[in-house]
Chains A and B, each alone.
Chain A
């Protein structure tokens, strides 16, 4: 399967294996097509997880990772793409309904927006919160003081 992708898309897809687990690094522009093919043709019918990793030193700061599983094949694969800060991704809610909340969580924690998502808003933090806590430049003791003072009526949550 991966070899087929490689033939078809050339340098846009880089298949890798680490500790016996397969994953591929896919160019941002190929993401909608590849995810669609994985779901429709390669039977990856279950999107296990969607998350991101922040690398502030890189040009393309974020790794966005889809963990996919196929019930018929009993096989897992991860799809990773690299995007810059402020860049958006197409929503995969039409492909896997489960990504609805997962994309909201990625937005909440990293500030990555998904185009075409039915309800792109924060999920764990309150709506008016400033900042995205899982970015590396967000300190572990940092908080939105203004929000805390207005909404909780206390000087600081710490």
Chain B
């Protein structure tokens, strides 16, 4: 276990001399490295095995999504947002559709809102399952990967039955949903909730008190609440540092205010607490899904939206609680059919910035654990 660091995030300079007066060692990790979850390059500065500082080099997956948006109509850009955080495509779509709806001044009908919440929460679980499987794999526990992917499959099956796609779903449309829920949707979701609830206990049995897991995660990658806020870190990483903040409660969007759920928090801001927070989020997501499917109203799923969308001149910022943190869209309209500017505020990019602060003073092997615990998706970091 390493001691918690005391560096302030503003202290960007590190000493040149190492502990033993030896030269520091600069090691390149990535961009092709299995534990970086994509094409992330990290330049590590080491004193023996101790990390003195690191620099992230990103942009290997830059596709210019924001530029593309300026050359597409509002509707045409909708599928592109799925390609940013491709393991939580539904959340990306929800954020985008709600932002454009805000600009247009329309609201999705209640039934559409409920189905949106169900799919978004299912996607949150799928995203967390993928995170848990790969994070545990990085640290050396192979078994959880098979467990989580087995159960994630059930979520993807529901997505496939609903909209035909498993990953880049394009599930929502501006103004509501294109498709009414298929026959048996409610039954499938209820069946899934009953199926997965005991499975979460299974994951916890594998890891929570596992001695190797605890040794590798407790006290690793600590970030204080103050540092986390200064660095703009959001999502489970912020909550594990003890800040009880979730956009679903703080500034409710969709119809989250109708549901009863809690915001799990941690105390120590270490890798173990972030694991516990996400495990608790699984259970809260299940609670929300259960309530939404029980209260699913009848009615239309699409609001009245003009075929050619020309939102009035103006700009709007809207954000949602994506599985990884605050996902925001800033859209400027010039009353034409294409957005004048679309800015995506990606949670992964901003959270990744904290990697340096979290790894200072840790061992090289801990860097792998911290990259895993941040739960980044490079498609979203680079856009």
Nearest chain B CB to A6 CB, angstrom units: 21
Nearest chain A CB to B90 CB, angstrom units: 22
A78 touches B317 (CB 8 A): yes
Residue of A nearest to B62 (CB): A124
A: residues with CB less than 8 A from B are 18-19, 21, 23, 45-49, 51, 53-54, 65, 67, 71, 74, 76, 78, 93-94, 96-98, 100-102, 109, 118-119, 122-126, 133-134, 138, 140
B317 touches A97 (CB 8 A): no
A71 to B315: give the CA distance in the assembly, Å: 23
Interface of chain B: mostly helix, strand, loop or mixed: mixed
Sample of 11 A–B contacts (CB below 8 Å): A18-B316, A49-B343, A53-B340, A93-B10, A98-B350, A101-B353, A123-B59, A124-B382, A140-B68, A140-B70, A140-B71
* Known contacts A94-B10, A98-B350; A18 and B243 CB within 8 A of each other: no
Kindly specify which of B17-25, B167-175, B326-334, B369-377 makes contact with the partner chain: B326-334
A21 to B316: give the CA distance in the assembly, Å: 7
A109 to B62: give the CA distance in the assembly, Å: 12
Residues of A contacting B245 with CB < 8 Å?
71
Residues of A contacting B212 with CB < 8 Å?
none
Query: In the complex, which of the residues A19, A53, A98, A100 contacts B332, with contact meaning CB atoms closer than 8 Å?
Result: A53
B102 touches A19 (CB 8 A): yes
Query: In the complex, which of the residues A23, A51, A76, A138 contacts B343, with contact meaning CB atoms closer than 8 Å?
Result: A51
B250 touches A74 (CB 8 A): yes
Nearest chain B CB to A16 CB, angstrom units: 10
A100 touches B345 (CB 8 A): no
A97 touches B62 (CB 8 A): no
Query: In the complex, which of the residues A23, A97, A109, A134 contacts B230, with contact meaning CB atoms closer than 8 Å?
Result: A97
* Known contacts A49-B330, A67-B317, A78-B317; A98 and B231 CB within 8 A of each other: yes
Nearest chain A CB to B263 CB, angstrom units: 13
Query: In the complex, which of the residues A18, A45, A119, A133 contacts B315, with contact meaning CB atoms closer than 8 Å?
Result: A18
B: residues with CB less than 8 A from A are 9-10, 12, 58-59, 62, 64, 66-68, 70-71, 102-103, 105, 227, 229-232, 243, 245, 250-251, 314-317, 319, 326, 328, 330, 332, 340-341, 343, 345, 349-350, 353, 382-383
Residues of A contacting B345 with CB < 8 Å?
48-49, 67
A96 touches B230 (CB 8 A): yes
Residues of A contacting B10 with CB < 8 Å?
93-94, 97
Residue of A nearest to B232 (CB): A98
B317 touches A21 (CB 8 A): yes
Residues of B contacting A96 with CB < 8 Å?
230, 232
Residues of B contacting A21 with CB < 8 Å?
316-317
B230 touches A98 (CB 8 A): yes
* Known contacts A18-B314, A123-B59; A101 and B349 CB within 8 A of each other: yes
Nearest chain B CB to A117 CB, angstrom units: 11
Nearest chain B CB to A24 CB, angstrom units: 13
A48 touches B62 (CB 8 A): no
Nearest chain A CB to B60 CB, angstrom units: 9
